[in-house]
Chains A and B, each alone.
Chain A
Amino acid sequence: MNRLGTVREIRDAFRRGERSAVDVCTEALSCIAMRDPELHAFNTITGEQALARAAAIDSDRARWIDRPLAGVPVALKDNLCTRGVRTTASSRILEHFVPPFDATAVARLESAGAVIVGKTNCDEFAMGSSNENSAFGPARNPWAPDRIPGGSSGGSAVAVASGMTPLALGSDTGGSIRQPAALCGIVGLKPTYGRVSRYGLLAFASSLDQIGPLARTVEDVAIALTVIAGADPADATTAAEPVPDFSAGLSSHARGMRVGVPQTLVDQGVDGEVTAAYRAALDVLRDRGATLIDIDLPYAGAAIPVYYLIATAEASSNLARYDGVRYGFRDRGTDGDSTHRRDLDLKTMYARTRARGFGPEVKRRIMLGTYVLSAGYYDAYYLKAQQVRTLIRRDYERAFEQVEVVAMPTSPTPAFKIGERVSDPLQMYLADVFTVSANLAGLPAVSVPCGFTGNGLPIGLQLTGRTFEELTMLRIAHAYEQGK
């Protein structure tokens, strides 16, 4: 299953001349050909293009040999624009959209020597926690194919967990990298808001969205973050913070580190096996030299409603652009009876295009967002949610006066069965209880595998760090990973 190896192993083997980029790419593509028909991690596989790119790297070894991702196959969530390669966001409305430019994060991966092998399945426009909202059918969990892989970056998590690629990019608006990473037994990192350029990411909720890596080890996500991070003139929300080598100085101990434990929050509604794995993970952190400190996050319990009010409001605005004019699907239907056929008027064309182009969850969120922004309800819902968002940020600011990271389970339950929650959106939203606060507060957070349930389903531990202190957070995550 893991013949490809990790990002670090592939890169080092390329450097030593033991493996060519073409060999590695061929192996990745054959693994995709073998596993993807069952798991459906990919919307698009760029086979020939990937091989041509790998061959170009091999024929100019001197140029690529010192690059951090030389010859490493990478899968990209299908909401990241790739020049000349279809980018659908798993939506009918963008089924045939071919972007004329690359997202900055994609361009940076390629400059680092990565080989893009395909675009991964996800919930439509990244809205979902199970990948079931994909217009092209769900991706499946490699540990139990009758179960969801998590979402929205489900395909990216499946690609890495099943050994199809050692690295994938996802996007995380309320847990969409960390939750599928947890449910598929891999590492998923959401960087600080402003750390990675969002240029070329199809926008869902602009004050929450962030691009980040999924891989099998903490070191690999650290290597990838170093490549994609940094200010970008094309995204005014990127920060002018220095970008360290996040993979340097990872060690096997966490001495001197203080880990916050929000026990009251974690006690609510968490699966028994998840709680047990979480407690065991805290013991490992203590063994590695960390000090556990009880903390209180009194407003974090309200994070789910705050998140769904703010994210849907922003989504209703961001998705207004899909109207059948500049790109994407257009409903070409007609109006009137059989003797008086006429073309749809503009307004009806918009409404039909969107009705036929968007799936049910996207429509639901556009409706909710439109409502909470509408006259008469704005103050009661949207403004109120923004104020509680401030209180949640203050919760974390206070906690970070005492600790370097906060530890929580990533997801309150392991992967559930496909179809189990589709008819109950509210139940689905509750899966995000531990992940959304990091987005609301703009904090970096990482999910690391921390064991399995009795029937073999992966469980994740989430560490949330201080703003722009991914380095410290990743060091603690690495120490945990080495000690478990």
Chain B
Amino acid sequence: MPVGFSRSEVQAIAALANLELDESELDLFARQLGEVLDYATQVQNIDTTGVPPTASLGVRHEADRADLVQPSLDRDLALSNAPDASLEAGLFKVPRVIG
């Protein structure tokens, strides 16, 4: 079955992803996401009855480490790339969220 996307469906996905899309992007993505998902639906024809999913690849880890306090990133350095920060208060600043 072909996968079709309406502009309002694309808009809804964009809202979930925190992306503001313009008119031309809505049209473009409606078409392109449909094409890619159409191609991807071939996985649905594969019989996976009883097959467990692979979410991550298990590797052999070191034994548990001791839970010791270690030096970490200096606060001013951590704030140094922020577009808006108060170094004195040690805070990232965001636009006003309450009235």
List residues of A whose CB falls within 8 A of some B CB.
97-101, 193-194, 207, 231, 233, 236-241, 299, 302, 304-306, 308-309, 316, 320, 323-330, 332, 343-352, 354-355, 358, 360, 363-364, 366-368, 370-371, 374, 380-381, 383-391, 393, 425-426, 429, 440-442
Contacts and interface: CB of A to CB of B under 8 A. Distances in A.
Grouping DSSP codes into helix (H, G, I), strand (E, B) and loop, the A interface class, with mixed when no group exceeds half, is helix
Nearest to B5: A371
B6 interface: no
B43 A309 contact: yes
Nearest to A389: B54
A68 to B, nearest CB: 24
Contact of B40 (A97, A238, A309, A425): A309
25 contacts: A231-B61, A236-B61, A238-B59, A240-B62, A305-B43, A323-B18, A325-B82, A327-B82, A345-B95, A345-B96, A346-B97, A350-B18, A355-B19, A360-B25, A363-B29, A364-B29, A364-B32, A367-B14, A368-B33, A371-B13, A387-B51, A389-B53, A425-B32, A426-B35, A426-B36
B57 interface: yes
B18 A351 contact: yes
A351 B46 contact: no
Interface of B: 10, 13-14, 16-22, 25, 28-29, 32-33, 35-37, 39-44, 46, 48, 51-57, 59-62, 65, 73-74, 77-78, 80-84, 92, 94-97
Contacts of A324: 83
B54 A326 contact: no
A260 B48 CA distance: 26
Contacts of B20: 348, 351-352, 354-355
Grouping DSSP codes into helix (H, G, I), strand (E, B) and loop, the B interface class, with mixed when no group exceeds half, is loop
Given A329-B83, A384-B48, A389-B54, 15 more contacts: A98-B80, A207-B56, A239-B61, A305-B40, A323-B18, A327-B81, A332-B83, A344-B95, A347-B18, A355-B19, A355-B20, A367-B33, A370-B16, A383-B53, A442-B57
A370 to B, nearest CB: 4
A354 B33 contact: no
Of A332, A426, A440, the most chain B CB neighbours within 10 A belong to: A426
A366 B17 CA distance: 7
A390 B18 contact: no
Nearest to B96: A343
B56 to A, nearest CB: 5
Contacts of B62: 231, 233, 240
B22 to A, nearest CB: 8
Contacts of A349: 94-95
B78 to A, nearest CB: 7
A368 B32 CA distance: 10
B65 to A, nearest CB: 6
